[in-house]
Structure 1
Amino acid sequence: MDQASVPASAERRWLIAAAPAIFLVLWSAGFPIAKIGLRYATPLAFLSIRFALSVAVLLVLCVWRRPVWPRTARAWMHLAVTGFLVQVMYFGLSYLSLTASLSSTVLALVVSLQPIIVGVLAPVLVAERVSARKWIGLVLGLAGAAGVIAARGHVEVQSLSALLLAAGALAGMTAAMLYEKRFGTRQDPLSANLIQYAIGFAICAPLSVSFETMHVQWTGAFVATLLYLVIGNSLIAITLLLAMTRAGKVSQVASLFFFVPPGAALMSYAMLGEVLPSTAWWAMAVAIVGVAIATAGRP
């Protein structure tokens, strides 16, 4: 046996085991950090700058690493569709909903419905059976996630348009996971991410110029949020999400999103000083039990 393959295999196993936790920390932190960043910029301008910086970083990495590019027009198309669903629909509509009077607690609750929708659609669209045990876990996870958010305060929907934007963001991420599971192929993360963020920039930038004032305040806090969202969310978290989706069952990966509202609540407490009531900890325990049940027996 090649001795060099032993540590490489061990490192790969460690990365596979740690990937869900890394993803959840990075993704949950994105809620309060995005909230901070939107104080200084209009939503589509914020996203356009974020995507432009992501493309610039990835271009440098591609020149250095020389990754393999998609070899067929179909592969390019699949990457472009996934990029549109995640970057434009999920992130774009999420940011717009936050600026359209929807509270971050309501947005997090709406997005946490994703695993239930994936569980309903997976058997039809990707021929993946969702067992009764996983349904029980999904329902418990949703109940716990809703409990954490409800414990943080009174939840109100200030406008129907803002709620529809949040629902569109939910539809975008759900469709991206199902599409990636059915049509996605293994691609180099550098080239795949570059294509997808280029799609996001190509769509969001013209929309920002056409429909927004493109107001941006270049403060230290705004620059810090950009750096985190580019590196933590755009480069690392999205790569982990798509990789986990291709490697495991889509309903199991989707159930991880039940951890996002509790995680976002903890991150908001740390970054924004939002207090997490004691009752939320019990609800968080219910969510964790639900996720454990839904994801048990992963290959």
Structure 2
Amino acid sequence: MQATVSADAKKPAVVFTIIAGFLWGTSFPAIKIGLRYMDAYTFVFLRFTVASLTLLSAALLTGNAGFSFNMKRLTLFLGVVNGLAYLLQYVGMVYTLAAASSLYVNLRVVWVALLSPIALKEHISARKAVGVLVSLLGVVLMTTNLDFASLAPVNVTGSFLVVCAGILWAFFIIYNKPLVEESSNLIQSMTWLLLFTLLPLLPAAAFSVGNLAALPWNAWVAVVYTVFSAG
């Protein structure tokens, strides 16, 4: 009986994992489509403006919009890092293919493994190292289907920017761990983290969002879709 309950309890988690994987995988093509209708700075700024307002509204409705959470400096740091990473990704994706961008971003698995011992003094066991290599192989297989010609042509500038985005996200993942573990109100801290993400996006967006009224509906569909995905 206990095993049956355990299996039933896992079903929602499996479903949500599949949905998350679908959203993640389709977010990169969605970004490429959106970049046809607006520049990278406008796109990433609009995405996080809509996302921030959505989460802030939810926080207000649930009474979690205060500024009383702990680890505020870490939250600010993570928000700025997140914003810079997304800015690099969107600008880089102007020059790279969606499949290549997905591969470069997911190299963060390797960066996390390499940086965790330095940042958090964590020990990497042989089992964890093998797990990292297997997961990296899985990313390569899913992204390319072992057809590396699908990543061509390679643009050095775009590839470099997207790889840098992945490295920044490695730092984000590493330092987000203590925030999640020690935050007194995770909803509050995540809301402010998303708002802080806008900070590095504001200077560039100030010169590019003047023509919002002229954006076609396709652009807004891309913005809304990427709000609910993770790419």
Q: TM-score, normalised by structure 1?
A: 0.64
CA RMSD of aligned residues (A): 3.1
| TM-fit CA distance, 1:52 | 1.6
**2:91 matched to which residue of 1?**
96
CA contact (8 A) 2:88 2:162 kept: yes
Contact kept in structure 1, 2:71 and 2:183, CA below 8 Å = no
User: Matches of residues 101-120 of structure 1 in structure 2 within 5 Å?
Assistant: 101-120=95-114
Q: 1:44 aligns with which of 41, 49, 57?
A: 41
2 CA distance for matches of 1:182 and 1:75? 9
Asked if 1:200 corresponds to 2:190, the answer is no
2:38 aligned counterpart, secondary structure? coil
| Shift, 1:225, TM fit | 1.7
Tell me which of 117, 125, 135 is aligned to 1:123. 117
SS at match of 1:173: helix
The question of whether the paired residues in 1 share the 8 Å contact of 2:92 and 2:159 is answered with yes
Aligned-partner Cα distance in 2 for 1:89–1:168: 10
Match of 1:24 in 2: 21
- Residue type of the alignment partner of 1:167: V
- 5+ residue gaps, structure 1, are 1-6, 238-259, 261-299
Query: Structure 2 vs 1, CA of residues 142 and 60 (structure 1 numbering), >3 Å: closer, same or farther?
Result: closer
1:164 has 2:160 as partner = yes
- Could you tell me how far apart the structure 1 residues matched to 2:101 and 2:52 are? 27
SS for the counterpart of 1:166 is helix
In structure 1, how many angstroms separate the alpha carbons of the residues matched to 2:131 and 2:121?
Answer: 20
Closer, same or farther: CA 78–108 of 1 in aligned 2, 3 Å: same
- 2:130 aligned with 1:136: yes
TM-score, normalized by length of structure 2? Answer: 0.80
Give, in angstroms, the shift of residue 164 of structure 1.
2.1
Question: Could you tell me how far 1:26 is from its partner in structure 2?
Answer: 2.3
Describe how 1:1-299 pairs up with structure 2 within 5 A: 20-67=17-64, 69-71=66-68, 75-86=71-82, 88-99=83-94, 101-147=95-141, 148-149=143-144, 150-151=146-147, 153-156=149-152, 158-184=154-180, 185-210=182-207, 212=208, 218-230=215-227, 232-233=228-229
Residue type of the alignment partner of 2:139: A
- 1:183 and 1:55 mapped to 2: Cα distance? 19
Tell me by how many angstroms 1:214 deviates.
Answer: 5.8
1:39 CA drift (Å)? 1.1
**Cα–Cα, structure 1 residues 170 and 157, in superposed 2: closer, same or farther, change >3 Å?**
farther
Displacement of 1:13 in angstroms is 6.7
**Greater RCO, 1 or 2 (C-alpha within 8 Å, sep 6+):** 2
Aligned AA for 1:79?
T
Q: Is the 8 A contact 2:65 2:191 kept in 1?
A: no
Q: Distance in 1 between matches of 2:21 and 2:191?
A: 22
Instruction: Report the CA distance between 1:42 and its aligned residue.
Output: 0.6
Identity of aligned residues (%): 19
Q: CA deviation at 1:80?
A: 1.4
Contact kept in structure 2, 1:89 and 1:168, CA below 8 Å? no
Equivalent position amino acid for 1:90 in 2 = A
Say if 2:42 and 2:205, in contact at 8 Å, map to a contact too: yes
